[in-house]
Amino acid sequence: MEIVVSIAIGIMAGAGVWLVLRPRTFQVLIGLALLSYAVNLFIFSVGSLSVDAEPIVRAGVPADLTNYTDPLPQALVLTAIVIGFATTALYLVVLLALRGLSGGDHVDGQEERS
Protein backbone atom coordinates (compact mmCIF):
# COMPACT_ATOMS: atom_id res chain seq x y z
CA MET A 1 0.00 0.00 0.00
CA GLU A 2 2.88 2.38 0.74
CA ILE A 3 4.21 1.91 -2.79
CA VAL A 4 0.87 2.89 -4.34
CA VAL A 5 0.62 6.03 -2.19
CA SER A 6 4.24 6.94 -2.93
CA ILE A 7 3.69 6.56 -6.68
CA ALA A 8 0.50 8.64 -6.49
CA ILE A 9 2.32 11.40 -4.59
CA GLY A 10 5.15 11.37 -7.13
CA ILE A 11 2.81 11.53 -10.12
CA MET A 12 0.75 14.34 -8.61
CA ALA A 13 3.85 16.33 -7.67
CA GLY A 14 5.42 15.81 -11.10
CA ALA A 15 2.24 16.82 -12.92
CA GLY A 16 1.91 19.84 -10.63
CA VAL A 17 5.46 21.03 -11.32
CA TRP A 18 4.96 20.50 -15.07
CA LEU A 19 1.74 22.54 -15.01
CA VAL A 20 3.29 25.34 -12.92
CA LEU A 21 5.93 25.76 -15.65
CA ARG A 22 3.29 26.18 -18.39
CA PRO A 23 2.68 29.65 -19.90
CA ARG A 24 -1.08 29.89 -19.29
CA THR A 25 -2.45 31.14 -15.98
CA PHE A 26 -5.16 28.48 -15.63
CA GLN A 27 -2.57 25.73 -16.06
CA VAL A 28 -0.44 27.36 -13.37
CA LEU A 29 -3.47 27.46 -11.06
CA ILE A 30 -4.22 23.76 -11.60
CA GLY A 31 -0.52 22.96 -11.06
CA LEU A 32 -0.51 24.77 -7.73
CA ALA A 33 -3.63 22.85 -6.70
CA LEU A 34 -2.03 19.52 -7.67
CA LEU A 35 1.12 20.37 -5.74
CA SER A 36 -0.91 21.21 -2.65
CA TYR A 37 -2.86 17.94 -2.98
CA ALA A 38 0.41 16.01 -3.28
CA VAL A 39 1.80 17.66 -0.16
CA ASN A 40 -1.46 16.99 1.70
CA LEU A 41 -1.35 13.33 0.73
CA PHE A 42 2.28 13.13 1.85
CA ILE A 43 1.49 14.69 5.24
CA PHE A 44 -1.51 12.39 5.60
CA SER A 45 0.63 9.33 4.85
CA VAL A 46 3.14 10.35 7.53
CA GLY A 47 0.43 9.72 10.15
CA SER A 48 0.76 5.93 9.67
CA LEU A 49 -2.76 4.79 8.95
CA SER A 50 -3.84 1.61 10.72
CA VAL A 51 -6.28 -0.82 9.14
CA ASP A 52 -8.90 -2.58 11.33
CA ALA A 53 -7.90 -0.71 14.49
CA GLU A 54 -9.97 1.42 16.82
CA PRO A 55 -9.41 5.16 16.39
CA ILE A 56 -9.87 6.00 20.09
CA VAL A 57 -8.13 4.64 23.19
CA ARG A 58 -10.77 3.55 25.72
CA ALA A 59 -10.39 3.56 29.49
CA GLY A 60 -9.77 0.15 30.99
CA VAL A 61 -8.45 -1.38 27.77
CA PRO A 62 -4.68 -1.89 27.54
CA ALA A 63 -3.36 0.55 24.96
CA ASP A 64 -1.17 -0.86 22.23
CA LEU A 65 0.07 2.43 20.80
CA THR A 66 1.44 0.83 17.65
CA ASN A 67 -2.09 0.24 16.31
CA TYR A 68 -3.32 3.82 16.54
CA THR A 69 -3.18 6.56 13.96
CA ASP A 70 -1.60 9.89 14.81
CA PRO A 71 -4.38 12.53 14.65
CA LEU A 72 -2.07 15.54 14.20
CA PRO A 73 -1.32 15.00 10.47
CA GLN A 74 -5.04 14.50 9.85
CA ALA A 75 -5.83 17.82 11.51
CA LEU A 76 -3.07 19.55 9.56
CA VAL A 77 -4.34 18.14 6.26
CA LEU A 78 -7.92 19.15 7.03
CA THR A 79 -6.78 22.69 7.75
CA ALA A 80 -4.63 22.74 4.61
CA ILE A 81 -7.55 21.58 2.45
CA VAL A 82 -9.74 24.44 3.70
CA ILE A 83 -7.00 27.03 3.24
CA GLY A 84 -6.08 25.61 -0.18
CA PHE A 85 -9.68 25.78 -1.37
CA ALA A 86 -9.99 29.41 -0.27
CA THR A 87 -6.73 30.49 -1.89
CA THR A 88 -7.59 28.63 -5.11
CA ALA A 89 -10.90 30.49 -5.28
CA LEU A 90 -9.09 33.78 -4.66
CA TYR A 91 -6.49 33.00 -7.36
CA LEU A 92 -9.25 32.14 -9.81
CA VAL A 93 -11.05 35.45 -9.23
CA VAL A 94 -7.82 37.42 -9.55
CA LEU A 95 -6.84 35.56 -12.74
CA LEU A 96 -10.25 36.14 -14.30
CA ALA A 97 -10.01 39.85 -13.49
CA LEU A 98 -6.48 39.96 -14.90
CA ARG A 99 -7.63 38.27 -18.10
CA GLY A 100 -10.44 40.81 -18.44
CA LEU A 101 -8.04 43.71 -17.97
CA SER A 102 -5.16 42.48 -20.09
CA GLY A 103 -7.05 40.53 -22.75
CA GLY A 104 -4.78 37.48 -22.44
CA ASP A 105 -4.05 34.64 -20.07
CA HIS A 106 -0.29 34.22 -20.39
CA VAL A 107 1.86 34.40 -17.31
CA ASP A 108 4.39 36.75 -18.89
CA GLY A 109 1.72 38.91 -20.58
CA GLN A 110 2.72 37.98 -24.13
CA GLU A 111 0.71 35.84 -26.53
CA GLU A 112 2.51 33.06 -28.38
CA ARG A 113 3.05 33.52 -32.08
CA SER A 114 1.84 30.98 -34.59
Mean pLDDT by 10 residues, the chain (114 residues): 89 96 89 93 79 65 64 87 93 87 76 62
Q: Strand, helix or coil at 82?
A: helix
Global pTM reads: 0.75
For residue 11, being part of any structural domain is answered with: yes
Q: Within a domain: residue 112?
A: no
Range of the domain at 87: 2-48+68-102
Q: Can you name the residues that pair with 106 across neighbouring β-strands? A: 24
pLDDT at residue 111, rounded to an integer: 67
CATH code for position 13: 1.10.287
How far is the CA of 61 from the CAs of 2, 55, 65, 70, 71, in angstroms?
Answer: 30, 13, 12, 18, 20
Task: Please state the domain count of the chain.
Answer: 1
Distant-in-sequence, close-in-space partners of 50: CB < 8 Å, separation ≥ 6: 67, 68, 69
